[in-house]
Amino acid sequence: MNPDIRYSIVIPVYNEEAVIGQTYRRLKQVMDLTGEAYELIFVNDGSSDHSTEMIKCFREQDNAVKLISFSRNFGHQIAITAGMDYALGAAVVVIDADLQDPPELILDMIAKWKEGFDVVYAKRTKRNGETFFKKQTARLFYRILSASTDLDIPTDTGDFRLLDRRVCEELKRLPEKNRYVRGLVSWIGFRQTAVEYVRDERLAGETKYPLKKMIKLSLDGITSFSFKPIKMATYVGSVIFASGLGYLAVLLLLKGFTESVITGWNLVMAMQLVLSGILLAMMGIIGEYIGRIYDEARDRPLYIVSECHGMMKKNRNVKKVV
Ligand code: UDP
Ligand code: MG
């Protein structure tokens, strides 16, 4: 660890040319107030706009600015992981590039950290300027996640948070590929606390989290921390099996002891549809897990770095226990 650097700010960037100048200036203003050494690590997640050139421009005037560029878009969770892998500070802060997370809050986080907390996460009391759909789906997801896992993952928090160096080091030891970083941080433990804030509107540009990416993140969150969905197959299967047996028994009794004629192929058809629907859904859930096991088995690196400015190019320091 470089003793000179106290704070590392990790900023994932994916096509953020519209805001990145402002973000840089506000972060710099805030971090200068600390009076301590810091680095601003921009992780360029395969942007195809001018974000990279702009970051290089900041770097020409400011040595605190560092840049890691990926060879393509690897996704937000991987970008913040890379930033943490390279960070040198005694405390590492992850913040979005679009100023939805107010940089000024970092000072409150640092104050809490100095009180002795290892993780200080930012809890959104209100989300401004986001669509009704986004707010409701996010709400629903956090509720499902907390219902399906025993782990205490705080609701309504994003990845905007401060981590102590020792939490960062532990995070590096977790090699999983489909990462849900905030869940991993909860899993690691240590002393955690929250600071509250109102989440602002994105300053400019559009969200880089379309529905598809949101669904992927939600599935990663749930499958990484819960076996409940897969267990559900057993419960639902047993209930259906029992009712099927009961149904059959009733039919046999009717046939044996009454005059009724058993017809109704459409009833059979309906049962068939219900059953095959449930089976397919359950297979899908199992598939979600198997896909992730496959990802782990292939053991590809999490990301590929194409260029690095202000730091040494290195591989992720993960030791596999064999
Ligand atoms: N981001 C990224 N890679 C991606 C998608 C997003 O690095 O594939 C970054 C993005 O530049 C921003 C942060 O992750 O700094 C959060 O994304 P965004 O603000 O678009 O998500 P939202 O706030 O709409 O959920
Ligand atoms: Mg945003």
CATH number at residue 118: 3.90.550.10
268 & 128 share domain = no
- Dihedral sign for Cα 95, 96, 97, 101, please: negative
Q: Which of 28, 285, 17 is nearest to 9 (CA)?
A: 28
Q: Is residue 121 part of a domain?
A: yes
Q: In whole angstroms, what is the distance from residue 150 CA to residue 146 CA?
A: 7
pLDDT of residue 219: 84
Name the CA radius of gyration of the chain, rounded: 25
Residue nearest to atom 14 of ligand 1 (CA): 76
72 & 16 share domain = yes
Q: What is the total count of domains within the chain?
A: 2
The DSSP-derived string for 43-94 is EE-S--SSHHHHHHHHHHH-TTEEEEEESS---HHHHHHHHHHH--SSEEEE
Q: In whole angstroms, what is the distance from residue 62 CA to residue 41 CA?
A: 12
Task: Give residue 182 CA to ligand 1 midpoint distance, Å.
Answer: 15
Pocket of ligand 1 (CB under 6 A): 12-14, 16, 45, 73, 75-76, 79, 96-98, 100, 202, 207-209
Q: Which of 139, 138, 155 is nearest to 194 (CA)?
A: 155
pLDDT of residue 265: 67
Is the CB of residue 77 less than 8 Å from the CB of residue 180? yes
Residue nearest to atom 3 of ligand 1 (CA): 76
pLDDT of residue 1: 46
154 & 206 share domain = yes
60 & 84 share domain = yes
pLDDT of residue 320: 43
pLDDT of residue 292: 80
Angle between helices 181-188 and 211-225 (to 10 degrees): 20
Q: Using one digit for the tens of pLDDT, what is the confidence trace for 259-287?
A: 776 666 666 766 777 777 778 778 778 87
pLDDT of residue 163: 95
pLDDT of residue 112: 92
Q: Is residue 1 part of a domain?
A: no
183 & 99 share domain = yes
270 & 146 share domain = no
Is the CB of residue 55 less than 8 Å from the CB of residue 13? yes
Domain range enclosing 249: 228-298
Return the ligand number nearest the Cα of 130: 1
pLDDT of residue 227: 72
Which parts of the chain register pLDDT below 70?
1-3, 261-267, 269-270, 313-322
> Which ligand 1 atom sits nearest the alpha carbon of residue 13?
11
DSSP, res 153: P
Residue nearest to atom 8 of ligand 1 (CA): 75
Coil, helix or strand for 74? Answer: coil
Task: Give residue 106 CA to ligand 1 midpoint distance, Å.
Answer: 19
Is the CB of residue 271 less than 8 Å from the CB of residue 251? no
Write phi, then psi, for 193 (nearest 5 degrees): -150, 170
Task: Give residue 79 CA to ligand 1 midpoint distance, Å.
Answer: 10
Beta bridge mates, 192: 119
Residue 301's CB is within 10 A of a number of other CB atoms, namely 11
Task: Give residue 110 CA to ligand 1 midpoint distance, Å.
Answer: 24
Give the helix, strand, coil percentages of the chain, each rounded to 5: 50, 15, 35
> Which ligand 1 atom sits nearest the alpha carbon of residue 79?
7
